[in-house]
Chains A and B, each alone.
Chain A
């Protein structure tokens, strides 16, 4: 601040700060702002300038009205004021705007507890509504937790108008999740979402923004459930409009028999394309075959889009994606045709899967009990060897005992190696046999034996390598699933946040 300059008024009222009277116009606000920032210039009085600018923004927003020009964060706080019902917001004796920064997370935890406790629809809906001002990822989680009746209640109360706006305001954070969550209300919302996707603003956003284009898939997919294919033709404007249309067509074909689709728990984290694939795994063999053909068509016609999706995934997810495709391909054909009759694309995928499996990591993590057991066995063997050596020494003297050491060491080493190998092999096979691995991996219902049969039916492998290949494929699948579902590395140097 310039020396001798009067201090800025200490007030939280923006109108008072700018010296604006009631009923002032936008022009008055601009004049007052210009007058003040010439006194408190940004380069000389940064603190004061920030306060003045914040007041100017606030007043401009009030005068302009609507959401159109608001920055995302302010958009959120205003949304709270409009949508949060009073009874929910005052749950802890505070208004929504006054809640602590981490209260959204608390709301989600409260919500989860109440869901388990069998709370009423109205109660859950009110808690949910009071949490919508927070992190969009969190909102998505709450969506996942919400029973259908709560979502219906919230939809009827008009609480779902904002995610579409949020998708525009948050092009990089949460748009996918929000829209993904929105699909839970698919049949109710499809027309509205389609209208949004067709709107000029969304279209402009999607043209510029890859994330928004990805987001566009969801309303299109949802809309496909109830709409004829022709509704997608207007979307050919998009840079990859043909891809969008082709994808929507695939989904449309798939969703004609949507009653047969079942949700598979534990896979929600996958991107939309893979989620759909997984859903397909639970359908009838006839539909599955039809879907596989659609999938092949889809892969052939727009590989770029698929691989773009793949590129965004982690290594394990990518691996899983490949195997899902391969597994689905195998499953679709074990019942109906030999593997040799696979279409070229599917055969390539299978070969890719097998190739990847061969180079997959070999280690598996066992439970601590089984590991302890294995270590105990090894220690016992070592102990026996030591005792034998001592007994030999007592009986025949030190010189003879020393001569015995090398063969004993060899023997000991060999036993240890054999025990470890046997542990790995039997442990895995036991687990497969007992079905403790995810034998219905990806909801396909396919088991270890079926995989062996499928590989045996193919001419691509030698008979004696079939078992080991099947084992490797399952090992890799298991690793991929295990790693993907497990929380990522907690090295102690990352931070989490749910602050607004």
Chain B
């Protein structure tokens, strides 16, 4: 490992939870946060008491009490212009992700007792280029240099491949996380882990199952979703999330619909019926990935389930039915991706223990340019011409020759798109490259365009005029949905100003937020008992006597655990 530059940490920046690890002494070590947990909720909230931003469990609890003070699941909107209201601030998903990354970096620094500024971040395989770029920018805001973005299923496969070190196999990684589904076909031989096919859906994950269950509950209670206040909606979401987990273990469970205080008993069968449309959507990416890899389902040696949502029995049953084989469930499906990202961080750091491991990845989307094509005698514009096709092994460099369409045309504007649709209007515009100085003459082939796509999914477009050898190159500038340099600096300044220093982030704040959430849920004697514990805790804090303080903290913590009945949101 390059000790002069510091360690490279592996980060799984998830939709609902994130985690961080480091590869040291030949093994993966996942690093705990201040609450001694390996999973940090991907939540950011504004703490009115201190005027600072909180990340993780405390933030999640604050959002539960007042949704206007924080944001959850923002990864789904990363790379878009959507702004979240977090207390008095309007923050993009990129900035919110930066807070989470900064928090993870702080956790890593605390655990490693040294500064950390390099990382490998896992992203959904089906993330488009703007989303990848936004993730990089979030890391930059958090003061991290991204050595590599690794696709989540690839990371999961890498973690799995390390276990099956000597095996030669072809397997599928089915990664259903909080917000995204990735399916990846991998081949492992002689220490080479090769991605053969990738498919996925960027808007399908555990959160959608929660939403489906919430819709079922509201339907059963004859309550229109629109009639709920924002706070009630968030409370319902929280309760349904817990209900979803209970239904994974029990045949039925109770749910109290907030606002109306209607108590419902929902069975697992009912939930499965509500999930049916979502389960149907799991099939398409599986087939696409298999087809892209040129592998039949029967040729798979194993199906690996990754991601928290794969804990749901209905998902496991459905995958089994789809692929006609029992899937392999990881012990900690939420942590598999983080382990893989950490392993990859070790590879980037050229750790000797990983010297015999090589991983190859593929492009998840096709990249190409807009062209006009002659169909008969007509020139049809707006067509997509792929240059680096989906499934191409990375890094890749591909060239194509293009021509002018008019006599004496002096400028060619290359519009670069990402996607699979035949018409560019259905694909994602990545940027433009203007080629001036085309020599006059008839319409003819004049320019060679080269796309160089690196392992982190960064694209360089280079053009060469065939007649003059004039070169023009560009690392694609992003459109307005991502941060520009000035915005980046502003965001960095903001995060420095607002972020809670890890040393200043006391555990009691988290405990109080947790108790507040619980107190709102309880009634009667339970509420009074918890209220007493909270009052004692606050009184103990006022004494500033460590012994008194830690005793009250222990009481309140045990009270929380008692009333949560083992299910923490």
Contact = CB atoms under 8 A, between A and B. Distances in A.
A340 interface: no
B402 A493 contact: no
Nearest to A170: B422
B397 A50 contact: yes
B339 interface: no
A72 B396 contact: no
B379 interface: yes
B192 A33 contact: yes
Interface string A417-430: 00000000000000
Nearest to B377: A487
Contact of B358 (A38, A102, A494, A498): A38
Interface in A121-143: 135, 137, 140-141
Given A30-B189, A46-B454, A488-B381, A499 B401 contact: yes
B378 A497 contact: no
Interface residues of B, number: 64
Contacts of A47: 397
B287 A34 contact: no
Contacts of B355: 38
A172 B423 CA distance: 9
Contact of B372 (A71, A72, A488): A488
Contacts of A4: none
Given A37-B192, A269-B378, A207 B385 contact: no
A26 B191 CA distance: 16
A470 to B, nearest CB: 29
A34 B189 contact: yes
A67 to B, nearest CB: 10
A205 B378 contact: no
A211 interface: yes
A70 B404 CA distance: 32
Interface string B362-404: 0000100111111110111110111001011111110011111
B424 to A, nearest CB: 10
Given A53-B360, A269-B378, A494-B370, A499 B395 contact: no
Interface stretch (B130-138, B316-324, B405-413): B405-413
B284 A43 contact: no
Contacts of A490: 372, 379, 405-406
Given A42-B360, A172-B420, A208-B287, A73 B370 contact: no
B81 interface: no
B244 interface: no
Given A208-B287, A496-B443, A488 B409 contact: no
Nearest to B404: A495
Nearest to B447: A495
A137 B288 contact: no
A492 interface: yes
A101 interface: yes
Nearest to A489: B381
Given A34-B190, A38-B356, A72 B389 contact: yes
Contacts of B190: 30-31, 34-35
A493 B360 CA distance: 37
Contacts of B403: 102, 495-497
B253 interface: no
Given A37-B360, A268-B376, A489-B381, A207 B287 contact: yes
Contact of B375 (A49, A102, A137, A312): A137
B411 A488 contact: no
B401 A42 contact: no
Interface string A256-299: 00000000000011000000000000000000000000000000
B291 A493 contact: no
Given A34-B191, A42-B360, A144-B376, A492 B381 contact: no
A495 B284 contact: no
A233 interface: no
B218 interface: no
A172 B402 contact: no
A68 interface: yes
A496 to B, nearest CB: 5
B288 A208 contact: yes
A485 interface: yes
Contacts of A37: 192, 358, 360
B421 interface: yes
A60 to B, nearest CB: 10
A68 B294 contact: yes
Contact of B412 (A34, A488, A495): A495
Contacts of B395: 42, 46, 49-50
Interface in A440-459: none
A69 interface: yes
A392 B392 CA distance: 83
A87 B290 CA distance: 39
A300 interface: no
Contacts of B311: none
Contacts of A141: 374-376
B441 to A, nearest CB: 14
A263 B246 CA distance: 64
A390 interface: no
Contacts of A68: 294
B180 to A, nearest CB: 18
Contacts of A494: 370-372, 381, 405, 413
A60 B26 CA distance: 33
Interface string B249-289: 00000000000000000000000000000000000100110
A173 interface: yes
A79 interface: no
A172 B386 CA distance: 10
A268 B376 CA distance: 9
Contacts of B242: none
A493 B413 contact: yes
A43 B348 contact: yes
B203 interface: no
Interface in B18-42: none
A269 B375 contact: yes
Nearest to B294: A69
A208 B284 contact: yes
Interface in A1-47: 30-31, 33-35, 37-38, 41-43, 46-47
Contacts of A171: 420
Given A46-B395, A172-B421, A496 B371 contact: yes
B328 interface: no
Contacts of A42: 358, 360, 394-395, 455
Given A488-B380, A492-B409, A499-B445, 7 more contacts: A30-B189, A50-B395, A172-B422, A496-B372, A496-B373, A496-B402, A499-B401
Interface of A: 30-31, 33-35, 37-38, 41-43, 46-47, 49-50, 53, 57, 68-73, 101-102, 105, 135, 137, 140-141, 144, 171-173, 204-205, 207-208, 211, 268-269, 312, 485, 487-490, 492-499
9 contacts: A34-B189, A37-B358, A42-B360, A42-B394, A46-B454, A57-B393, A208-B291, A488-B380, A494-B370
Interface of B: 148, 189-192, 284, 287-288, 291, 294, 347-348, 355-356, 358, 360, 366, 369-376, 378-382, 384-386, 389, 391-397, 400-406, 409-414, 420-423, 434, 443, 445, 447, 454-455
Closest 5 A/B residue pairs (Cβ): A69-B294, A34-B190, A493-B413, A46-B395, A495-B402
